[in-house]
Amino acid sequence: MELLKGKVAIVTGGTRGIGYAVVKKFLENGASVALCGSRKDTVDKALEKLAQEMPGSSVIGLWPDLQNPAEVADAVDQVVREFGKLDILVNNAGISAREKFLDYNPEDFKKIMDLNVNAVFVCAQAAAKVMEKQGGGAILNTSSMVSIYGQQSGVGYPASKFAVNGLTKSLARELGKYNIRMNAVAPGVTRTDMVAALPEAMIKPLIATIPLGRIGEPEDIANAFLFLASDLASYVTGEILSVDGAAMN
């Protein structure tokens, strides 16, 4: 069943990991997708991979600076010119760090907030302007399980994801009148480059805290995005959907 037949989506951080799985899932379900990355070369690489894995897909690549409102507005215009509309935005690009608070460089804190929070604001605003005129849409954010409990070091990352939840819940209330739904997916530990960078000694004890006994796969997370993006979730907004195997933090 093609749950997104005829829909048009933008996915930020779509070049690898969770974002790439979301792009594939949306394409498989009949959507046209604009995949965004931070650089042209990584976007081109992701498009080449998609051409092999899903030949003939309706996909384009863009690399706007997500914190720059003018560049993001241009990218949204380009998508509307190419595909005729915009139904779904997935704010997925994000970075993390695990510095201890007493050594935490304020510049690094700002860098995390700039991408994980400010860019979500900028992209959501550009998309909402189009969706409001169109009569509706769905904006989805990638939060994290640390947005519920915090984490033991690297305070910038959980703080940024608490802010993502705040944007999600508040904008659901503000944009509901335009038929724009706003939801977030809060993944647990998921097998991507972000996690591959963690030492095995850190992963093993993490798995021990997960009742389902494994870390998440990008496709587990993409399935949740598919549901929230689709009309099956037509009465779901302001929700932070945990997809974490009931991890106990």
CA–CA gap between residue 85 and residue 83 (Å, rounded): 6
Residue from 27, 73, 75, 96 binding ligand NAD (CB under 6 A): 96
Given a contact cutoff of 8 angstroms between Cβ atoms, the answer to whether 169 and 238 are in contact is yes
- Residue 207 interacts with ligand NAD (CB under 6 A)? no
Asked if 168 contacts 143 with a C-beta cutoff of 8 angstroms, the reply is: yes
Q: Which of 20, 149, 157, 178 is catalytic?
A: 157
| Residues touching ligand NAD, count (CB under 6 A) | 26
User: 104: which DSSP letter?
Assistant: -
Q: Is 231 in the site for ligand NAD (CB under 6 A)?
A: no
Q: Is 15 in the site for ligand NAD (CB under 6 A)?
A: yes
Of 167, 219, 212, which Cα lies nearest the Cα of 190? 219
Indicate which single residue of 80, 95, 148, 236 sits in contact with ligand NAD (rule: CB under 6 A).
Answer: 95
Task: Name which of residues 61 to 80 contact ligand NAD (CB under 6 A).
Answer: 66
**Interface with ligand NAD, residue 192, by CB under 6 A:** yes
Which of 23, 26, 33, 37 binds ligand NAD (CB under 6 A)? It is 37
Give me the residue label for tokens 């989805």.
140
Asked if residue 194 binds ligand NAD (CB under 6 A), the reply is yes
DSSP of 171-208, one letter per residue?
HHHHHGGGTEEEEEEEE-SBSSHHHHTS-HHHHHHHHH
Does 189 participate in binding ligand NAD (rule CB under 6 A)?
yes
Would you tell me how many other CB atoms lie within 10 Å of the CB of residue 94? 25
CB of 130 to ligand NAD, least distance (A): 20
Q: Assign 3-class secondary structure to 57-83.
A: CCEEEECCCCCCHHHHHHHHHHHHHHH
Catalytic (active site) residue 157: yes
Nearer of residues 43 and 171 to ligand NAD, judged by Cβ = 43
Q: Please, which residue, 135 or 211, has the CB nearer to ligand NAD?
A: 211
Site for ligand NAD in 120-179 (CB under 6 A): 142, 144
Dist. CA 1–CA 188, nearest whole Å: 27
In angstroms, what is the minimal distance from the CB of 237 to ligand NAD?
20
Residue 113 found at the interface with ligand NAD (CB under 6 A)? no
Residue type, 27: L
Residues that bind ligand NAD (CB under 6 A): 13-19, 37-38, 42, 66, 92-96, 115, 142, 144, 187, 189-190, 192-195
